[in-house]
Structure 1
Amino acid sequence: MLKQLAILSVCAASAFALHTAEININDKDLEVGAQFDMGQFNDTVEPNTMFVGARFLNADGDHSEVKNANIDPLVEANLLMMKDVGSTGFRLGMGVKAEFTENYTALPLGVEGSYTISSKEFVPMHLNAAVYYAPQVLSLRDADSYLETRISFDLEVIPNGNITLGYRNIETNYENNQDFRYNRSGYLGFKLKF
């Protein structure tokens, strides 16, 4: 009976091993996010290919172009579709986000890539990159355009638990020619898959 219960527990845990939660910090900024694998909720969607998520970034003005600025927190809802490219360890995806601050809204479209560096001598490593852009037509309220670039390196120190070292650059341009870098900073974080 105990053996059957253990097998059932492992199967149940692996069925939900694709959702992620993460927290990224540096000396001034806090970022938290979550993504849910829609393939776990919908039988018509292949698991580990479509994700719905949210993110909150409480950025500090010291990592902005306008020093000592009182910038608003950024809230995001996102949809991402990713697929393995052959059996190379590379995944490529495309997505859409909805970015909100107190007086800024943008709907950027983008691409994301992830490469898994597998080695028998080391723990699994992942190199991730993303670029999202919203031109004027996808920028609402006071927004004129939006550009976000990210790169990160994940070290899977325990199964389904990563330490992340990353860099982000978020540029928000406003209609009144008030263009500034919302956040440019490196960060350290944890990413958990459950």
Structure 2
Amino acid sequence: MTDLTSKVKELTEEQRSRKVPYYRLDTSKVTKQVLEHLNGEVQRAVRPLVDAMTASVQATGESVKQSVKDFEKRVSQVEAKRVEELAEDVKNADEWAERVISKVDRLSSVATWTAVGRFSIALLPLCVSIIIVGGLVWTITQFLGVAPVLAFLWSKFTAATAVWAKLLWAAAAVALVTLLCWLIWALLKWLDGEFRRW
């Protein structure tokens, strides 16, 4: 390091001895000039990029504006269509409500206490017929001893161990019930014929 320092001192002394004019740089002027030159170069290099980016941003902005306009148009069309559908639904609901109200009005005028009484009187023969047939079936089954016979068949069915024996007892019970149903049907047909002559 001392070597370098001594060399610098030596060169400085030699420069002074030669009587060469000593120049001093004005750094502020040099800096200003370099900055102006550098600014011009940067402007020339960056300007095309800035112009391209500006054009791209403007195109993107226009594209976004167009997309927003298209979206607004679609939304307004969908809203208009939905409003029309809702109006149609309301109209249909209103028509349905009017039909229901008219039916209720017709039924309320028909379903008076007089109509209820007439309907009850019309059902009276059916109820009496059901009671008579039920009593007749009960009496016939008790008279013929069907209940004890069915109880006997059920006990034999449960006591049987072989499958063929269970099937035999089940077939006997089904045959008995079928015969009883046929007898009741034949008796009801005969009663129908007798009552039609009155």
TM-score, normalised on structure 2? 0.17
Tell me which protein shows more helix as a share of its residues: 2
Bigger radius of gyration among the two:
2
TM-score, normalised on structure 1? 0.18
